[in-house]
Structure 1
């Protein structure tokens, strides 16, 4: 999560709205992640496109 927070913090807030979500702590947001085609975490979604940082866990595993 540290790398993800650093990457998100490096984005220009005038250009991008940043919302850091920990799906393990906020499982209600899993559906949001699925709608943006996030397949594994951690991931960044920029402009509606997912960028998978490093494979930590499949999104399906968080539903279990």
Structure 2
């Protein structure tokens, strides 16, 4: 399975999970962006898993009808 398919599948699953609130998506995305920015500012490597989860959360928010 490709990475893009994995991201789509996980985003669809999260978007459909009523236990995850819109605030949870917003807060998680904000935390990830802040951490990625901090790593970048220190010129430290950014783990691919962080980038992957950022893409998943963005897609899940879009599937719920929120802008990114």
> TM-score with structure 2 length normalisation?
0.25
Structure holding more strand per residue: 1
> TM-score with structure 1 length normalisation?
0.26
